[in-house]
Amino acid sequence: MATQTIADTGESITTGPSKSVGGGTTVWCLLALVACSHFAIALKYFPRLWSQGHYQYFPLVLGVIAWLFWSRRSEIANAKTVPSPKVIVGLLAADLVAVLLATLLNSS
């Protein structure tokens, strides 16, 4: 907890931790790397997936997921709890390792 002094009154207040989520360079670099790695796999895998009849609506599902995220973005930004930056970095790193292993093992 940090203590701040209000300039006009001289009154000090105690503030909680910041609500910003891991604005550090590490988080954003990992996020960009994970997004690029998923994009590379998607270019190879999705055309084959969409050619199968029971997956023909898969692009629609991706669009609905994007729309739901877009419509709920203010609720996400105003959430009362924020995940730890260590958890975020850990999950992004684990995802990146899984994608790299899948690519190396050619398990598509």
Task: Kindly report whether the global pTM for this prediction surpasses the value 0.75.
Answer: no
Number of domains in the chain: 1
Structural domain contains residue 14: no
Domain that holds residue 93: 21-105
* SS3 assignment, position 3: strand
**Residue 11 binned pLDDT confidence (cut-offs 50, 70, 90):** low
Structural domain contains residue 66: yes
Across 48-65, average pLDDT: 86
Residues 63-99: tens digit of each pLDDT: 999 999 899 888 877 878 877 888 888 888 898 888 8
Taking a C-beta distance cutoff of 8 angstroms, is the pair 70, 7 a contact?
no
Across 35-48, average pLDDT: 83
Judge whether residue 49 has pLDDT over 50: yes
**Which residue did the predictor score with more confidence, 9 or 2?**
9
Taking a C-beta distance cutoff of 8 angstroms, is the pair 92, 31 a contact?
yes
Average pLDDT, the chain: 76
Structural domain contains residue 3: no
Structural domain contains residue 55: yes
